Structure 1
Amino acid sequence: MTKPKVLISDKMDPNAARIFEERGCDVDVITGETPEELIARIGEYDGLAIRSSTKVTKAVLDAATNLKVIGRAGIGVDNVDIPYASGKGVVVMNTPFGNSITTAEHAIAMMFAVARQIPEANTRTQAGEWPKSAFMGVELTGKTLGLIGAGNIGTIVASRALGLKMKVVAYDPFLTEERAVEIGVDKVDLETLLQRADFITLHTPLTDQTRNILSRERLEKTKPGVRIVNCARGGLIDESALKDLLESGHIAGAGLDVFGEEPAKDSPLFGTKNFICTPHLGASTTEAQVNVALQVAEQMADFLVNGGVTNALNMPSLSAEEAPKLKPYMKLAESLGSLVGQLAHGNLTQISIEREGAAADLNGKPIEGAVLAGLMKQYSDTVNMVNAPYLAKERGLDVRSIRHQREGAFNTLLRVTVGTSQGDRSVAGTLFGNDTPRLVEIFGIGIEAELAGHMLYIVNEDAPGFIGRIGTLLGESGINIGTFHLGRRDTGGEAVLLLSVDTAISQDVIDKASRLEGVKTVKALEF
């Protein structure tokens, strides 16, 4: 078996390469290449491990014909075209927790520096002055900290602030009341936070919803004398408005580790009184650099070798422990998606994926992705679990996932139903022995079959002599039957025949079969 091949294109801890090798990957460490050099090289690799220097553009992804996963050692993935990578079926991972403590501590350090004007005091003292009366700071104790973003880093900042005897209020659309109580903060709306906070720290990614979240209008609504710290992402604050409000004294101080444009060479904020800054140092500690490098290597190796998906930004997470258990379900799910996709007529409008019995207790997202991958193979030759949901969305397909706790005829069951312009079409399958996928129902007719290789699907009238006629036709055409599966609604009614054969079935054979007495539908299937 060929080992997955990984390229580390940015400088990172050398132990990352060791982890890749120990876990069954071949790895090359080639840093500092130009975009053109990377494009020329990337086609031979299954994985690409990066930090912030490598830019994974459309041109790089077009050249990456074997690429399966990109791993960013760190949180930010601004240097990766994630939508295009998703369309190419490439998993994009980051390491959101490896530098969380480091970034949170930097935010706290910036709060102290802003509160006590430490950088300017240091500069003037070292210049031979003794400007003791020029610096009157404020305590953090008893002040209200407003968190914009209460995710992993924001939660750590909150815990440190509470330890400093601060009061903490938080604005985060995804923060529940229960979670707010658990981490010791008051959940408030953004307007309330602006009015109450003595200090504001930001801990959100840069998205269309968060861009310029502290606009001029919102900065003007802040409490007079507020101090603001941003160690998250540039673009969250209107920097020109921040400068004006610092100069007016409405904002007493600000500390930025990030800027809208980086590297920041000529920011309008430079030189502004009560403003301090650092060059994007939030994750710059020895511990953090080691942690993110090791984590990205572990995550990528687990994906390439075992199928585990951790901290992926464009597909459901699937732990290395879950992967073996889910593997037969995902095979069944993909086969059912492929079957219904090949057989359904008319424009697809929606698809529902139902899990029943033991399947109801499993991680449903990977199963959903596998169904869509099977279904969307009818529309694209390069579809997989990563890009299938995007292809479905592009086609306006309404995807629904349903979990049933009821007990049915089978210990475990997956059912896939598509809505078409001609009505619903449903297929269902189970696992035999917990690991062997089997079809058990097709369009309301019970039938037991393995879905694999070349198959022939026929709907016919249930009448004597038909099996002999189809057997004779296939024999005369030189087609050997592997397996033979029958099902029917009732005696003398509609029947289904599902055959596996050793060779692909030509259109000529399909045409001849469709002319046999009693035949309603004939379709060649491929799995």
Structure 2
Amino acid sequence: MAPKVLVSDKLSETAVQIFRDRGIDVDFMPELGKDKEKLLELIPNYDGLAIRSATKATEKLLASAANLKVIGRAGIGTDNVDKDAASKKGVIVMNTPFGNMITTAEHAIAMMFAVARQIPEASASTHAGKWEKSKFMGVELTGKTLGVIGAGNIGGIVCDRARALKMRVMAYDPFLGEEKAEKMGVQKVELDELLANADFITLHVPFTEQTKNILSKENIAKLKKGVRIVNCARGGLVDEDALAEALKSGHVAGAAFDVFAVEPATDSPLFNLPNVVVTPHLGAATTEAQENVALQVAEQMSDYLLTGAVTNALNMPSVTAEEAKVMGPWVKLAGHLGNFIGQMTDEPIKAINILYDGTVAEMNLEALNCGVIAGIMKKANPDVNMVSAPVIAKERGIQISTTNQDKSGAFDGYIKVTVVTDKRERSAAGTVFSDGKPRFIQIKGINIDAEIGSHMLYTTNEDVPGIIGTLGATMGKHDVNIANFTLGRAGAGGEAIALLYIDHPVPQAAMDDLTATGMFSQVKPLTFDVG
């Protein structure tokens, strides 16, 4: 029997035809996603669900999807899919992360031109029968300095287009190496240098705790007078209230925003200000981009349903069903090791070296590598998956090396991950115990035995008396319950580390108290997806 796919949002007829041409039974109901009850009634009949953003794949819907094997999202965002529920149900969630990069980059360039020449205001004035030629004095882009915050896929395209416009381009991106920057023809700088020197600034980073309000009130005050700011990435990257004040004072000459902290944006401090261009999140809204992502998701879903091939999956490694049974815990471990090192590393990574020892060395190392790389990249890009992570690493000039060896120690198998930066090397190793649970067994060359939890606290210190008491007392003072406490040291009186597995995130005040004791050289909160 042929697999059955339901298309419950507006995909192109060409994409629907791909399913038919591949021998898949497809029902095209582009308005069904808006009818939750009807969708709930029909979903048990289908093996695949192809959607855009209107359909909400909730836990309730997934619970009713008795035969569902794959959800394909035509586009990058999957906020409308309960990925945890899908994983528990064994449903693969795919997206199309690279289908709208050019479109979004072009929109940023268009917005830059619009704010440089005050095109929307001049157009409205002329439509009104006015002829205010002298009012709309603009500036050229040629010869100006463009500051690009985030030089990944879309930011890299913007850099390329800007250089073709004869702009000088500087980029701030903690994961951009010097060699890659040189190949791109951009100057790699720190954020403060970019803020002080850029005539135009464009943002191309995801919204994370690290990037939230990256253009804060304090950073906006550091901007070069007369700068123009473009944001076609994510709302919340810029303090809109502070920017509005800077626009009113004249410190910032103009702004062009496609995204807002609250969407749909029916009100914003930026609305109705002179020389502020705003659009309703149109970054990916071109015919070509919408067609590209629709065709891609149809091909990906067909491949999986007919051959088992997995592409751009957010919640499953690219392995066969037989491999997945054995590799599942090791894939989780690979991700945890990468995530640990990613959270600990702030400077650009030049190389990632992965060692597989013993039984794990005989597994699908490519999938495990993807798990490690995705874990490392997750700090910079929460949307990264096991397919896109190696592509991003390659684009950023990160060298990946893999070594496998026969059993060499007390464990039947283990994985050791080492990252290399200009400043240091950082390593962590782990194994999977017989209960199927991943464990950290070594950090910075110091042997430990640490269970991995959703919330953890990592500290480093000199091996002196009182560390355990201080940690315990401080956590108790701030009502933080410790589920597991692991210590390790290089030698008596030498460097020591502690990993605390705790029930809830550590309050900042608790970390401040630990730092204030002078006993700890590092106090770092960590989070892991252990679902």
Which TM class, normalised by the smaller chain length?
0.5 to 0.7
Give the distance between the partners of 1:97 and 1:167, measured in 2 at CA.
Answer: 26
- 2:370 and 2:219 mapped to 1: Cα distance? 43
Measured at CA, do residues 315 and 198 of structure 1 come closer, stay the same or move farther in structure 2, by a change above 3 Å? farther
Indicate conservation of the 8 Å contact 1:330/1:366, yes or no: no
Opposite residue 4 of structure 1, the aligned amino acid is P
Other-structure match for 1:312: 313
Residue 289 of structure 2 aligns with which residue?
A: 288
Alpha-carbon distance in structure 2 between the residues aligned to 1:327 and 1:116: 56
Structure 2 contact 357–405 (Cα < 8 Å) conserved: no
* Aligned residue in 2 for 1:7: 6
1:100-140 per-residue CA deviation (whole Å, 9 max, x = no partner) reads 11111111000000000000011111211111111111111
Tell me if structure 1 keeps the 8 A contact 2:329–2:432: no
Which residue of the partner structure matches residue 113 of structure 1?
114
Distance of 2:284 and 2:290 partners within structure 1:
7
Contact 1:356–1:406 (8 Å) recurs in 2: no
Partner of 2:40: 39
Other-structure match for 1:162: 163
The answer for the alignment partner of 1:68 in structure 2 is 69
Bigger CA drift: 167-176 or 115-124?
A: 167-176
Within the candidate set 353, 361, 365, 2:368 is matched to 365
Shift of 1:11: 0.5
Residue 30 of structure 1 deviates from its aligned partner by 1.5
SS of residue matched to 2:161? helix
Q: Which residue of 1 aligns with 2:228?
A: 227
After superposition, residues 117-136 of structure 1 pair within 5 angstroms as 117-136=118-137
CA contact (8 A) 2:361 2:406 kept: no
1:195, CA displacement in angstroms?
Answer: 1.7
- Is the contact made by 1:180 and 1:186 (CA closer than 8 Å) also made in structure 2? yes
Q: Secondary structure at the match of 2:134?
A: helix
Task: Describe how 1:176-191 pairs up with structure 2 within 5 A.
Answer: 176-191=177-192
Asked if 2 retains the 8 angstrom alpha-carbon contact of 1:356 and 1:403, the reply is: no
Provide structure 1 residue ranges, at least 5 long, that are not aligned to the other structure: 338-351, 370-385, 387-401, 409-413, 426-527
| C-alpha distance in 2 between matches for 1:356 and 1:4 | 36
Structure 1 contact 355–404 (Cα < 8 Å) conserved: no
Give aligned pairs, total: 366
User: Which amino acid in structure 2 is aligned with residue 304 of structure 1?
Assistant: L
| Cα shift readout 1:193-224 (whole Å, capped 9, x = no counterpart) | 22222111111222333232222222222221
One-letter identity of the residue aligned with 1:179:
K
Residue 151 in structure 1 maps to residue 167 in structure 2:
no
Change (3 A) 1:367 1:153: closer
Match of 1:25 in 2: 24
1:324-354 deviation line (CA, Å, top 9, x unaligned):
xx676557657999xxxxxxxxxxxxxx974
Mapping of residues 434-453 of structure 1, within 5 Å? none
Superposed, which structure 2 residues align to 1:105-504 within 5 Å? 105-316=106-317, 318=318, 333=327, 354=357, 359=362, 362-365=365-368, 404-406=403-405, 418-419=432-433
Aligned AA (2:150): G
Counterparts of 1:252 and 1:180 in 2: how far apart (Å)?
A: 28
Distance of 1:332 and 1:360 partners within structure 2: 9
Q: Show the counterpart of 2:92.
A: 91
For the Cα contact (< 8 Å) 1:357–1:406, is it kept in 2?
A: no
Give, in angstroms, the shift of residue 245 of structure 1: 1.4
Task: Decide whether aligned partners of structure 1 residues 136 and 91 sit closer, same or farther in structure 2, where only a CA change above 3 A counts.
Answer: same
Cα distance, 1:357 vs structure 2:
11
- Look up the SS of the partner of 1:206 in the other structure: coil
Query: Over residues 171-212 of structure 1, what are the superposed CA-to-partner deviations in whole Å (9 max), with x where a residue is unaligned?
Result: 223222222222222222222222222111111222333232
Q: Decide whether aligned partners of structure 1 residues 213 and 127 sit closer, same or farther in structure 2, where only a CA change above 3 A counts.
A: same
Change (3 A) 1:278 1:355: farther
Query: Under a length normalisation based on structure 1, what TM-score does the superposition of the two structures give?
Result: 0.63
Cα distance in 2 between the residues matched to 1:65 and 1:204: 38
Asked if the contact 1:229–1:255 (Cα under 8 Å) also holds between the matched residues in 2, the reply is yes
Residues 124 and 203 (structure 1 numbering): CA distance in 2 closer, same or farther, change over 3 Å?
same
Per the TM alignment, residue 315 of structure 1 is displaced from its structure 2 partner at its CA by: 3.0
Q: Deviations over 1:16-45 (max 9, x none)?
A: 111122223221111223223222222322
Q: Distance in 2 between matches of 1:135 and 1:334?
A: 61
Task: Determine helix, strand or coil for the equivalent of 1:134.
Answer: coil
Answer with 154-163 or 244-253: which moved more. Answer: 244-253
Are the counterparts in 2 of residues 302 and 308 from structure 1 also a CA contact under 8 Å?
yes
In 2, Cα distance between equivalents of 1:48 and 1:366: 29
Distance 1:67 1:196, change over 3 A: farther
1:421-442: per-residue Cα shift (whole Å, max 9, x none)? Answer: 9xx99xxxxxxxxxxxxxxxxx
**One-letter amino acid of the structure 1 residue matched with residue 195 of structure 2:** L
SS at match of 1:276: strand
SS at match of 1:235: coil
- The structural deviation recorded for 1:161 is 0.2
Measure the CA separation in 2 of the matches of 1:51 and 1:336: 32
Residues 150 and 85 of structure 1: CA distance in aligned 2, closer, same or farther (over 3 Å):
farther
Q: Which is worse superposed, 249-258 or 22-31? A: 22-31
Alignment deviations for residues 88-110 of structure 1 (CA, whole Å, 9 cap, x no partner): 33322221221111111111000
What percent of counterpart residues are identical?
Answer: 60
Q: SS of 2:266's equivalent? A: coil
Shift of 1:361: 8.0
Quote how far apart the aligned CAs of 1:275 are.
0.6
- The more displaced of 356-365 and 89-98 is 356-365
User: Partner of 2:270: helix, strand, or coil?
Assistant: coil
Distance 2:368 2:304 in 1: 16
CA contact (8 A) 1:102 1:285 kept: yes
SS of match in other structure, 1:363: helix
Moved more, 145-154 or 65-74: 65-74
Matches of 1:205 and 1:212 in 2, distance apart?
11
Deviation at 1:419, TM superposition (A): 3.5
Quote how far apart the aligned CAs of 1:158 are. Answer: 0.6
Work out the CA distance in 1 between the residues paired with 2:107 and 2:204: 12
- Tell me if structure 2 keeps the 8 A contact 1:356–1:404: no
How many angstroms does 1:314 deviate by?
2.6
Aligned residue type for 1:364 = A
Does the CA-based 8 Å contact 2:358-2:405 persist in structure 1?
no
Instruction: Give, in whole Å, the separation in 1 of the partners of 2:197 and 2:248.
Output: 22
Whichever residue aligns with residue 162 of structure 1, its letter is R
**Residue 78 in 1 paired to residue 48 in 2?**
no
Following the alignment from structure 2 to structure 1, what is the Cα–Cα distance between the partners of residues 79 and 329? 36
Residue identity in the other structure for 2:230 = V
Describe the shift of the 1:67–1:182 C-alpha distance in structure 2 as closer, same or farther (beyond 3 A): farther
